[in-house]
Amino acid sequence: MKSYKIAWLPGDGIGPEVTEEARKAVDAAGAKHEFKIEWVRYPFGAAHYQRTGETLPDSALAEMALCDAMLLGAVGAPSVKPGILERGILLKLRFHFDQYINLRPALTYKGVPCPIPTSGRIDSVVVRENTEDFYMGVGAAAEGGNINTPFEVKRELYKVSGRLSAAFSPGHAAAAQVGILTRPGIERVTRYAFNLAKGRGEKEVTLASKANAVPILYGFLDEETRRVAGEFPDMSLKIQNVDALCCHLARKPDSYGVILCPNLFGDIVSDLLSGLTGGLGLGAGGNIGDKLSMFEPVHGSAPDIAGTGKANPLAAVLCAAMMLAHIGENEGAQTIGQALESYLAESGAKRPVELGGSALCMEVGDAVVKKIG
Ligand code: NAD
Ligand code: IPM
Ligand code: MN
């Protein structure tokens, strides 16, 4: 029997609740299709940080590197200053393993009410660059009106170092954070997006940009993306300002296929698409790279509903299916996908609380497992 080692980082808030249901679905698919998962659970998140002062140690990264993939719930809690866990765990993982693609499909399902009436099915996918842009971590707050801070950022493709310096007069409080994009960073994600669109039988990729207001950074993005698009002569690149894109998405969400985004816009556009397909509890995602890939819902730790059972675990379940496809267990992935679709189509009043029904997190997970058989 084939066996896989999966790093499992439940994290904070609803993370443990939703990934538990995803794990159950994977194990059920394994029993059906004859593969076995060894789950290696990691405790990192708010409680561990508050107890030990540790976010994510390098020793854990070395262990995780030996796993076949990773399933992550979400990190972040109201009791910890924003950024500490998110940058210290989630972004550290993305950057360390050079997970340069954040793939976030958005699909409508039978039985799921959508906020916008559509003529067809929303079947879109955000290809979000996952290592650059305003996520580089280069920035500083001005002290006494001055910034004079050295920086060094390491990425798989390059290292960038320098000094950020500015003087404000009068010397009031201020802060600056820099967005960075590079040719190799843009090239690899653009090729990925075009190949994905091609595989989906589509002829166009939409780029979410904003060169009108941020011409240095996003003007460069447009030029470089256009150049790479030239490698795909049968296909076209549509560049749209991200503000206009959001308006079009809200009005005609079923008219998009692959949407290529720099990191920050991709974050926002993927939440919008999740909302348009019914809710964050349906938005799955994968952080894909050439080393360890990590599967994680679009949503966060949802502290407002943590512990109430109201969390919809289907995004995490869909992540599990993406993860199985990634490690080569395609039949298991399909079984989970079909089980989820058939549960949603038939669930009626027993649909997840998030979708207006009464089914609590564990009940939703159990219903999917039952469908897996
Ligand atoms: P969020 O996605 O956690 O929640 C936004 C809203 O959607 C909330 O009202 C929440 O209840 C609801 N929601 C989210 N997931 C749901 C689900 N599965 N079922 C039902 N309802 C769901 O976003 P936020 O409130 O901005 O962030 C909360 C915390 O999570 C913050 O600390 C943030 O930094 C962190 N976060 C982590 C990740 C991650 O680790 N991948 C992603 C996003 C946010
Ligand atoms: C996401 C989250 C993260 C992001 C945060 C928690 C750093 O919002 O995965 O979408 O911005 O990438
Ligand atoms: Mn987000």
Tens-digit pLDDT profile for residues 159-212: 999 999 999 999 999 999 999 999 999 999 999 999 999 999 999 999 999 999
CA 167 to centroid of ligand 2, rounded, Å: 31
Consecutive H or E run containing 126: strand 123-129
Could you tell me which residues come within 8 angstroms of residue 363 by beta carbon, excluding any fewer than 6 positions away?
Answer: 350
Q: Which pLDDT value is given to residue 119? A: 86
Distance CA 285, CA 273 (A): 12
The answer for 323, left when phi > 0, alpha when psi is -120 to 50, beta otherwise, is: alpha
Residue 18: closest CA among 275, 298, 373: 298
Q: Which pLDDT value is given to residue 117? A: 86
From the CB of 86, is ligand 2 less than 6 Å away?
Answer: yes
**Which atom of ligand 1 lies at the shortest distance from residue 354's CA?**
20
Q: Which pLDDT value is given to residue 371? A: 98
Distance CA 40, CA 67 (A): 9
Query: Which residue, judged by its Cα, is nearest atom 12 of ligand 2?
Result: 267
List, as ranges, residues with CB under 5 A of the ion ligand 3: 267
Domains present along the chain, CATH in parentheses? 1-112+293-373 (3.40.718.10), 114-132+181-277 (3.40.50), 138-178 (no CATH)
Cβ contact 303:337 at 8 Å: no
**Which atom of ligand 2 lies at the shortest distance from residue 74's CA?**
6
Residue indicated by tokens 């960038």: 160
Query: Mean pLDDT for each 10-residue chunk of the chain (373 residues)?
Result: 97 98 98 98 98 98 98 98 98 98 97 89 97 98 94 98 96 95 98 98 98 98 98 98 98 96 98 97 98 98 98 98 98 98 97 97 98 95
Consecutive H or E run containing 21: helix 15-33
Task: Identify the nearest ligand to the CA of 104 by its number.
Answer: 2
From the CB of 133, is ligand 2 less than 6 Å away?
Answer: no
Distance CA 122, CA 108 (A): 5
Q: Which pLDDT value is given to residue 223? A: 98
From the CB of 267, is ligand 2 less than 6 Å away?
Answer: yes
Could you tell me which residues come within 8 angstroms of residue 256 by beta carbon, excluding any fewer than 6 positions away?
Answer: 124, 206, 248, 249
Residue 225: closest CA among 213, 242, 234, 238: 238
Residue 221: closest CA among 244, 201, 242: 242
Q: Which pLDDT value is given to residue 80? A: 98
Q: What is the pLDDT of residues 170-182, one digit of tens each?
A: 999 999 999 999 9
